[in-house]
Amino acid sequence: MPEGDTLFRIAHQLRHSIDGRRIERALSPRGRVVVDCIEGHTVTAIEARGKHLLIFLDSGDAIHSHLGMTGSWHVYAVGQRWHKSQELADLVLEFAELSCVCFHSKTLEKLSRMALRRHPHLARLGPDLLGNQFDMDEALKRFRRRDDVPIGVAVMDQTIISGIGNVYKSEILFLEGLDPFQNVSRLSDYQLLTLLRRAQCLLRKNVGGQPRRTRFGHDGKRHWVYGRSGEKCLKCGGTIHMRRQGDLGRSTYWCPPCQEVSRTGCRAGRP
């Protein structure tokens, strides 16, 4: 599933291509969106909020998409061959010199100003780690409201903080030496704030479009633990484990020796 850095990058690319342009024609081949009130309007802003993308129009409405596991946005010049079949397009926005196409989006809808303010998911989103005004104190407060939740579940909860997905979850917790299965209550404010700063740093390093990486060594390995179950830890030489976690059974990768919890709840060590 696209994580916060991916949505930030998509927003930047769309902003460069369509911000300030008039939508000459809108099509929804699979009937996902009512397009009549989209045609003729001008794009005024494109914004990433965690894993959500919003394209704002001069009418005050917004096109909201959540890409899920398989969704994507493409930009094509007039006459350029599409990388995917037109039959798979959920929404086509045609401009004078290019087309902007959304494929396979988990969520795709047009929202009025009122609907945007009252949206059951958007209205509850936590502070965005890549936002210009990320509120560290608010994020900490939201963590503390979920003290009884394992930290590996909490960092994925978009109502606490927006932008962390499965890859970053495992990698950040490893880098901070935190056991993914211990409750938030066992972590100090300092540990949570350090985790947030680490997350911001890694997300920002990955907004450029290169393959996502959380490790920057010269051996070609891009991740410390993610996707490496059964392999040797690159820090201690121990074995990387994987266990399903949370209601959705998302995979969590960790190194038990590096992320061991002492009796006081403090981490045993960090890279």
DSSP 3-state assignment of 14? helix
Separation between Cα atoms, residue 257 and residue 240, nearest integer Å: 9
Phi-psi region of 174 (alpha: psi -120 to 50; beta: other; left: phi over 0): alpha
CA 54 from centroid of its chain's CA atoms: 14
Q: Are 179 and 254 in contact (CB under 8 A)?
A: yes
DSSP states of 192-240 as a string? HHHHHHHHHHHHHHTTTSSPP-S---SSS---SSTT-TTSBPTTT--B-
C-alpha distances (whole Å) from 99 to each of 52, 63, 89, 264 are 21, 15, 12, 57
Residue in 244, 45, 261, 248 with CA at minimum distance from that of residue 157: 248
Angle at alpha carbon of residue 240, lines to 239 and 243, rounded to 5°: 130
Active-site annotation, residues: 2-3, 51
CA 32 – CA 34 distance, rounded (Å): 7
Q: Sheet of 89-94: strands edge to edge? A: 25-27, 89-94, 98-103, 72-77
Non-local (6+) Cβ contacts of 35 within 8 A are 26, 27, 28, 91
For residue 77, how far is the Cα from the chain centroid?
A: 27
